Amino acid sequence: MIVDILNEILNYSNLTNQKRITQIDKNSHDNLYIYSLNVPIFMSQKILEHKIFSRLTKLRCHGNYGIYDVGHLCNTLKMLECCECAIDQNGISKLKYLEIIICRKNKKIKDVNHLADTLIELDCGCRCGIDQNGIAQLKYLKKIDCFQNKKIKNVNHLANTLKELGCDWECGIDQNGIS
């Protein structure tokens, strides 16, 4: 029970306090996990691979160039924000259960088709590397934001699931692309 309470406190704390909580005693160190993380700019791949982060479900790495691979989170990660960072196509290739990916300004990610059965929200705007072929196999997408992405021209294959479309500001989608 104390572990459950500490886990709740842990997930609402900043990274410094999270580290302190896990160092209370051996039981804390062995049984506590962080499930949501806003990665500081200085955090490295080696630190992210520590046991305490092995059950992350939400990860935000905006502006971090020290983390390049999240494959070790393939069974837990459901939300990834990887804007302007070092995470590339290989770094996400092992992910299986991702539901949300925000990869604005990330030209190194070009294809999210391996997430066809799980992805429901995609933000690939602002000159992201994802193009039409990179979304062609998606079938459950409910929301896509592709502002300033001229490489995506058609979302008709999402007619039965798409509820929200952001296609403003120099987007490649025209009337035919939403017919």
For the stretch 99-132, pLDDT in tens is: 999 999 999 999 999 999 999 999 998 889 999 9
Q: What is the pLDDT of residues 33-65, one digit of tens each?
A: 999 999 988 899 999 999 999 999 999 999 999
What are the residue boundaries of the structural domains of the chain, listed by start?
1-32, 35-178
pLDDT for residue 31: 85
Task: Please give the angle made by the CA atoms of 91, 84 and 106, to the nearest 5 degrees.
Answer: 60
Strand partners, 102: 81, 123
Topology of domain 35-178, per CATH? 3.80.10
What amino acid is encoded at 173 in this protein?
Answer: I
The C-alpha atoms of residue 96 and residue 93 are separated, in whole angstroms, by 8
For 17-26, how does the pLDDT look when each residue is reduced to its tens digit (9 = 90+)? 888 888 888 8
